[in-house]
């Protein structure tokens, strides 16, 4: 049976940055990272925009970034957390730069700061339009140099194990599937850190990769962790429309910050009718405005217009986006880019305090799977990578000082299961997943929603999943991921339902 002082689940920016900080603080600890596919396969790697940090204290200030964040969050942010994150941002940024992450500079040597929706100032540090790839690459290189970190790829964590501790549960280890030899096994851990990302795959139209199946939230909720604000799913206004596709290609918000316009079928700008900031309003406002426009026109998309912009400069800033558009026959210099709002980010998640602790002892959550209070009901653009860094730092400080009081659990666990995990029945799960995505799309479609009916349908999908399990007597990757999706979807529906009835008590 494996044993780790610290088990990190997931390999996005939060998990990797935490691992590095922890490994440097405590070289005596054995740190394991389990990730269900290759380490590069994370949402972080796809991030285009960058990191919002105040670096220019003449035009900008921490206070302006704080106010922008709070305004974007629609009154649902935790101000103490917002202040902590934004004040810490320069130190965390320096740590990224110290491990070799490069951010674009102007010819004069000053940061080339991008502008994005909801920001009153240019303050986004970025690496062209592939910021996530650059950050991920440098984090992975650093991880590979640290001898007390072991990275287990193709290790799918199924559930964590807890024990009752004077009434309070504490986590003691995790069941996982080693996908290479198809075995289900157990690892003992003193501390577990969930950094599993979001749940965008609950929706057919999403920017999130196929791995974004809400695993950490499902695992945490089954273990009794509190999930909060999960109904606040953020839709990104400018995903490239290419018909039926999953995931959608993202056209960064930074493109609007660079001056692109959003226009309708009549080639007219229309966002100003909804907000005086126009295209630079926050995502919730821009997405809603586009959805209404599409409803009126009966079309599947609106357009992003970049034709008036300096194309050479555009290409310098957005080579990845330009190249992708060209592969499908679109040239941003001469063509309108069809765009549509799609699910992009989960603003809520596993509830944590300022040290990233959940309500289960020794269980922490960081990054998109967590709910810290920073985002409220609508995350400010490019605040998510920042949140991941700050809460990874907070967790590492807390664990550094507390882990010596934790011992491995003496409870006996059936160590290894002899039954191999086999990737069978994919067709069943492809169909079930489509059915679930269709239900979730209805839930967020601005129409009257019959919550009971949605929950009943989910219950019947659960029964189908259980019968597939009984029939075949095998646990499969698809089964684990789909079960997690169902678990999270149900929580999302219930959170929406609770919010709806709180708003309309007489309904
Ligand atoms: C984008 O580049 O538009 C995405 C960045 C983010 O989600 O904050």
User: For 19-45, how does the pLDDT look when each residue is reduced to its tens digit (9 = 90+)?
Assistant: 999 999 999 999 999 999 999 989 888
pTM for the whole structure: 0.96
Task: Tell whether ligand 1 has an atom less than 6 A from the beta carbon of residue 358.
Answer: no
Q: How far apart are CA 443 and CA 286, in angstroms?
A: 19
DSSP H or E segment with residue 216: helix 215-222
pLDDT score for 181: 82
pLDDT at 507 over 90: no
**Contacts of the segment 87-91: beta carbons below 8 A, 24+ positions apart:** 87/62, 88/390, 88/393, 89/51, 89/52, 89/53, 89/54, 89/65, 89/386, 89/389, 89/390, 90/53, 90/54, 90/55
Query: Cβ contacts of residue 229 below 8 Å, gap of 6+?
Result: 76, 347, 348, 349, 371, 375, 376, 377, 495
**DSSP percent split of the chain into helix, strand, coil, nearest 5:** 40, 20, 40
Task: Tell whether ligand 1 has an atom less than 6 A from the beta carbon of residue 252.
Answer: yes
| pLDDT confidence tier of residue 427, bands split at 50, 70 and 90 | low
Ligand 1 centroid, distance to 245 Cα (angstroms): 19
Ligand 1 centroid, distance to 251 Cα (angstroms): 9
> What is the token pair recorded at 272?
């100003």
Mean pLDDT of 193-208: 97
Minimal-distance CA residue to ligand 1 atom 4: 49
Q: Could you tell me the CA-to-CA distances from 265 to 103, 248, 268, 280 in Å, in that order?
A: 37, 21, 7, 20
Task: Tell whether ligand 1 has an atom less than 6 A from the beta carbon of residue 382.
Answer: yes
DSSP H or E segment with residue 174: strand 168-178
Minimal-distance CA residue to ligand 1 atom 5: 49
Residue of 118, 233, 238, 254 to mutate, ligand 1, most atoms within 8 A of C-beta: 254
pLDDT score for 421: 44
Closest CA to 374 of 353, 399, 392: 353
Q: How far apart are CA 256 and CA 241, in angstroms?
A: 16
Task: Tell whether ligand 1 has an atom less than 6 A from the beta carbon of residue 133.
Answer: no
pLDDT score for 418: 47
Mean pLDDT of 346-354: 98
> What is the token pair recorded at 147?
């001898």
pLDDT digit string (tens) for 245-272?
999 999 999 999 999 999 999 999 999 9
pLDDT score for 422: 42
The answer to whether residue 256 is catalytic is no
Task: Tell whether ligand 1 has an atom less than 6 A from the beta carbon of residue 48.
Answer: yes
Residue of 126, 260, 321, 382 to mutate, ligand 1, most atoms within 8 A of C-beta: 382
| pLDDT confidence tier of residue 505, bands split at 50, 70 and 90 | low
Q: How far apart are CA 302 and CA 268, in angstroms?
A: 10
What one-character DSSP code corresponds to residue 10? -
Closest CA to 250 of 279, 299, 208, 311: 208
pLDDT at 417 over 60: no
Ligand 1 centroid, distance to 71 Cα (angstroms): 18
Asked if 167 and 50 touch (Cβ cutoff 8 Å), the reply is: no
Ligand 1 atom at minimum distance from 379 CA: 8
Mean pLDDT of 486-504: 93
Minimal-distance CA residue to ligand 1 atom 8: 382
| pLDDT confidence tier of residue 428, bands split at 50, 70 and 90 | confident
Residue of 13, 49, 197 to mutate, ligand 1, most atoms within 8 A of C-beta: 49
| Signed CA dihedral, 83, 50, 95, 351: sign only | positive
pLDDT at 471 over 80: no
pLDDT digit string (tens) for 297-328?
999 999 999 999 999 999 999 999 999 999 99
Q: How far apart are CA 342 and CA 500, in angstroms?
A: 22
Mean pLDDT of 280-307: 97
Ligand 1 centroid, distance to 74 Cα (angstroms): 19
> What is the token pair recorded at 53?
């940090």
pLDDT at 141 over 70: yes
Ligand 1 atom at minimum distance from 345 CA: 7
pLDDT score for 420: 44
| pLDDT confidence tier of residue 501, bands split at 50, 70 and 90 | confident
pLDDT at 456 over 90: yes
| Signed CA dihedral, 222, 227, 233, 239: sign only | negative
Mean pLDDT of 181-188: 89
Angle between helix 131-145 and helix 384-402 axes, rounded to 10 deg: 20
Q: How far apart are CA 192 and CA 31, in angstroms?
A: 10
Mean pLDDT of 403-427: 65
Q: Which of 26, 283, 371, 379 is catalytic?
A: 283
Q: Could you tell me the CA-to-CA distances from 426 to 103, 218, 422, 481 in Å, in that order?
A: 41, 21, 10, 11
Ligand 1 centroid, distance to 283 Cα (angstroms): 10
The chain-wide mean pLDDT, for the chain, equals 94
Q: How far is CA 458 from the centre of its chain?
A: 23
Closest CA to 160 of 38, 34, 44, 43: 34
Ligand 1 centroid, distance to 131 Cα (angstroms): 10
Place of tokens 């056209």: 251
Ligand 1 atom at minimum distance from 50 CA: 5
For 154-170, the DSSP string reads TEEEEEEEEEEETTEEE
Q: How far apart are CA 68 and CA 62, in angstroms?
A: 10
Ligand 1 centroid, distance to 440 Cα (angstroms): 22
pLDDT digit string (tens) for 354-413?
999 999 999 999 999 999 999 999 999 999 999 999 999 999 999 999 999 999 997 766
Task: Tell whether ligand 1 has an atom less than 6 A from the beta carbon of residue 72.
Answer: no
> What is the token pair recorded at 42?
């994370």
Strands (E) across 358-458 are located at 363-365, 370-371
Task: Tell whether ligand 1 has an atom less than 6 A from the beta carbon of residue 130.
Answer: no
Strands (E) across 196-336 are located at 227-228, 233-240, 261-263, 302-305
């Amino acid at each position: 049976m494996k044993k780790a002082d610290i088990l990190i689940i997931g390999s996005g920016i939060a998990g990797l940055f935490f691992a590095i900080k922890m490994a440097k603080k405590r070289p005596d600890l054995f740190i394991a990272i389990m990730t269900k596919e290759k380490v590069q396969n994370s949402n972080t790697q796809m991030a285009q925009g960058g990191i919002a940090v105040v670096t220019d204290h003449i035009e900008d200030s921490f206070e302006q970034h704080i106010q922008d964040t709070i305004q974007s969050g629609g009154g649902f942010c935790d101000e103490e957390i917002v202040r902590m994150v934004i004040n810490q941002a320069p130190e965390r940024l320096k740590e990224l730069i110290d491990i070799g992450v490069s951010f674009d500079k102007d010819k004069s040597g000053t940061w080339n700061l991008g502008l994005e929706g909801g920001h009153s100032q240019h303050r986004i540090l970025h690496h062209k339009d592939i910021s996530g790839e650059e950050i991920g690459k440098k984090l992975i290189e650093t991880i590979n140099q640290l001898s007390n970190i072991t990275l287990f790829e193709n290790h799918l964590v199924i559930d964590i194990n807890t024990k009752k501790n004077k009434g309070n549960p504490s986590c003691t280890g995790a069941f996982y599937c080693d996908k290479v030899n198809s075995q289900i096994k157990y690892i003992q851990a003193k501390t577990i850190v969930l950094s599993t990302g979001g749940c965008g795959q609950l929706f057919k139209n999403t920017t999130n990769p196929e791995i974004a199946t809400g695993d950490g939230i499902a695992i945490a909720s089954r273990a009794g962790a509190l999930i909060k604000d999960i109904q606040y799913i953020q839709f990104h206004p400018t995903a490239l429309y290419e018909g039926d596709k999953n995931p959608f290609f993202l056209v960064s918000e930074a493109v609007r910050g660079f001056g692109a316009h959003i226009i309708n079928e009549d080639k007219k700008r229309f966002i100003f009718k909804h907000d005086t900031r126009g295209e630079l309003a926050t995502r919730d406002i821009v997405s809603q405005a586009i959805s209404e426009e599409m409803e009126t026109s009966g079309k599947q998309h609106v357009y992003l217009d970049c034709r008036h912009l300096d194309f050479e400069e555009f290409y310098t800033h957005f080579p990845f986006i330009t190249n992708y558009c060209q592969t499908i026959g679109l040239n941003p210099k001469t063509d309108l880019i069809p765009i549509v709002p799609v699910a992009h980010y989960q603003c809520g998640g596993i509830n944590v305090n300022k040290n990233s602790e959940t309500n289960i002892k020794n269980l922490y959550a960081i990054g998109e799977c967590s709910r810290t209070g920073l985002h409220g009901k609508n995350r400010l653009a490019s605040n998510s990578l920042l949140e991941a860094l700050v809460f990874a730092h907070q967790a590492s400080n807390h664990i550094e000082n507390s882990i010596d009081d934790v011992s491995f659990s003496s409870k006996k666990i059936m160590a290894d299961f002899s039954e191999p995990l086999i990737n069978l029945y994919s067709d069943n799960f492809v169909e079930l997943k489509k059915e679930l995505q269709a239900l979730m799309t209805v839930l967020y479609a601005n129409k009257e929603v019959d919550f009971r009916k949605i929950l009943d349908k989910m219950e019947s999908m659960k029964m189908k999943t259980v019968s597939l399990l009984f029939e075949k007597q095998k646990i499969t990757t698809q089964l684990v991921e789909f079960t997690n999706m169902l678990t999270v979807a149900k929580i999302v529906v219930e959170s929406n339902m609770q919010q709806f009835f709180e708003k309309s008590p007489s309904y």
